[in-house]
Amino acid sequence: MLPATASAWDGTVNDTISQIDVTDGDQLGFRIYFPNSTACGNAHNWAYLNRGDSNYQAYVAAALMAKATGTPVTVYSNVDANGYCHVRFLTLR
């Protein structure tokens, strides 16, 4: 029997970014959409960042670069209290 694998994330996405939405800073302020994936085990194909998140500017810069160049990303997220996917780690591949 193999041991169970634990993860700190509710979802992991390996995809490109198809769309970016920007709105009020702390109300799901920066959203990234995935063309072929759901973000954290629910029906949403997007995940978000808020202006108050640690390292927000670096996340936004990385996501914009990935979108502009078509570079695939790996996004790790957790489900928030409202059922939305909050980005917690992002890697450009």
Residue range 57-67, pLDDT digits in tens: 999 999 999 99
Which parts of the chain fold into alpha helices (H)? 56-69
Structural domains of the chain ordered from first start: 13-92 (2.40.50)
pTM reported for the whole predicted model = 0.89
Number of H helices, E strands in the chain: 1, 6
User: Any residues with CB less than 8 A from the CB of 17 and at least 6 apart, and which?
Assistant: 32, 33, 34, 63, 66, 67, 73
Residue range 10-31, pLDDT digits in tens: 999 999 999 999 999 899 999 9
